[in-house]
């Protein structure tokens, strides 16, 4: 396993993490023993950077991850766990209550990295107020480091300038080969300010793995139902990228999942993908995505091909059964 440092801290984190959203109804791994087997394999392979959130199964994912880490006997300071507080809880009344509960559900004594999961849209909670309430958690020792997920840079700036002493050490944003918007503002900002970026959906929810093909696109019964990436018109473009990943991967003895993840870490030193796994075998692929680098010409070929795979998010609009006004 390859390791790096979190943000401006000395915390040693694996160059690839593991997302634990899978341990919930959204993705279907609700049986504790199955989740534990995934975490066990990740630890064996040297992965020590884990991500969960309060909203994943409303605590189920935090519970499974924390229990597995405890039962597997890891030393507390050898793993780094991020969890996330939803935007809807970002006020000084909900923050201490929710975070105390999260610490109890995880059962790890404290939270290594607490991220605001998304901005408090619709609630009008002032940035300065929730920033200070989150910093208080650091002061009292419930949380070690703070982070932000899905915040535009303007709001990141407002948040950071509201903090007295702590700083943002970790970001979490959607970033994969067919959804590269984070490259425009977020990643340059993170590189300039030494903030680690956890890349979420780094294999586009499985679309970049090569196991789904245009002729074999299942009707998903999980969180992917209706996901624009899997709409046939978008997926056709994704598939062209997957085919290139396959042919380039053959030169390195790597599969499309591994090439897609390697491309992200080759692109930026601050990016740490946090793919989700439903089985120990899927984690094995993740571990094989690091410890090597794509050659510059292969990196560039993938860069160019993926630039033309633009996902349209309005693809389902309008509903198909509306009469045409023309
Ligand atoms: N901050 C946020 O707003 C946010 C949003 C989303 C996710 N996240 C975090 O990011 C993590 C990862 O993102 P994600 O779950 O959306 O998507 P992802 O990691 O891009 O895709 C995960 C899915 O891909 C498939 N897969 C995984 N490894 C595979 C392999 N080796 N070969 C073939 N298929 C494989 C699995 O589903 P199948 O086997 O069923 O195909 C798996 O559930 C989450 O667990 C969560 O921690 C954060």
Active-site option among 32, 56, 63, 173: 56
In a domain, 75, yes or no: yes
In a domain, 324, yes or no: no
Nearest CA to ligand 1 atom 10: 200
At 139, which CATH number? Answer: 3.20.20.100
What is the Cα–Cα distance from 273 to 137, expressed in whole angstroms?
26
Q: What is the pLDDT of residue 325?
A: 74
Q: What is the pLDDT of residue 326?
A: 64
Nearest Cα to Cα of residue 275 among 266, 286, 284: 286
In a domain, 13, yes or no: yes
CA 276 / ligand 1 centre spacing (Å): 4
In a domain, 250, yes or no: no
- Rounded average pLDDT over 19-41: 98
Please confirm, yes or no, whether 189 is among the known catalytic residues. no
User: Encoding tokens for residue 104?
Assistant: 């109890």
In a domain, 39, yes or no: yes
pLDDT tens-digit map of 206-227: 999 999 999 989 899 999 999 9
Answering whether pTM is above 0.95, one says yes
Q: What is the pLDDT of residue 242?
A: 98
In a domain, 303, yes or no: no
Greatest pairwise CA separation for the chain in angstroms: 67
In a domain, 228, yes or no: no
Nearest CA to ligand 1 atom 26: 206
What residues make up the domain containing 28?
3-205+259-294
pLDDT tens-digit map of 225-277: 999 999 999 999 999 999 999 999 999 999 999 999 999 999 999 999 999 99
pLDDT tens-digit map of 42-60: 999 999 999 999 999 999 9
Closest atom of ligand 1 to 198 CA is 10
β-strands 80-85, 12-14 pairing? unpaired
CB 196 within 8 A of CB 6: yes
Total structural domains within the chain:
1
pLDDT band for 154, please (50, 70, 90 cuts).
Answer: very high
Sheet holding 80-85, edge to edge: 18-19, 49-51, 80-85, 111-116, 143-149, 168-174, 196-200, 271-273
In a domain, 95, yes or no: yes
CB 247 within 8 A of CB 240: no
Nearest CA to ligand 1 atom 47: 19
């Amino acid at each position: 396993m390859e390791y790096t440092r979190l943000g401006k801290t000395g915390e040693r984190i694996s160059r690839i993490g593991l997302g634990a959203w899978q341990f919930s109804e959204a993705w279907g791994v609700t049986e504790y023993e199955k989740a534990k087997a995934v975490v066990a394999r990740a630890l064996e392979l040297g992965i020590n950077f884990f991500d969960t959130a309060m909203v994943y199964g409303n605590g189920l994912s935090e519970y499974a991850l924390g229990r597995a880490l405890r039962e597997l006997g890891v030393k507390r300071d050898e793993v780094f766990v991020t969890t996330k507080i939803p935007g809807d809880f970002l006020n000084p009344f909900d923050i201490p209550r929710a975070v105390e509960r999260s610490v109890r559900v995880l059962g790890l004594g404290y939270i290594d990295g607490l991220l605001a999961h998304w901005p408090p849209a619709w609630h009008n909670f002032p940035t300065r107020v929730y920033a200070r309430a989150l910093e208080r958690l650091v002061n009292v020792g419930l949380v070690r480091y703070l982070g932000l997920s899905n915040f535009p840079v303007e709001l990141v700036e407002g948040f950071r300038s509201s903090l007295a002493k702590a700083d943002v050490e970790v970001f979490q944003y959607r970033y994969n080969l067919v959804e590269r918007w984070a490259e425009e503002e977020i990643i340059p900002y993170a590189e300039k300010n030494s903030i680690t970026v956890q890349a979420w959906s780094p294999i586009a929810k499985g679309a970049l793995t090569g196991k789904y093909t245009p002729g074999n696109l299942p009707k998903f019964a999980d969180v992917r139902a209706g996901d624009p990436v899997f709409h046939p018109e978008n997926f056709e473009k994704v598939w062209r990228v997957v085919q290139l990943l396959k042919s380039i991967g053959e030169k390195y003895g790597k599969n499309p999942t591994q090439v897609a993840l390697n491309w992200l870490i080759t692109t930026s030193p601050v990016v740490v993908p946090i793919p989700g796994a439903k089985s120990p075998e899927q984690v094995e692929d993740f571990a094989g995505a690091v410890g090597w680098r794509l050659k510059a010409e292969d990196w560039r070929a993938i860069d160019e091909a993926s630039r033309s795979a633009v996902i349209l998010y309005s693809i389902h609009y309008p509903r198909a059964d509306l009469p045409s006004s023309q």
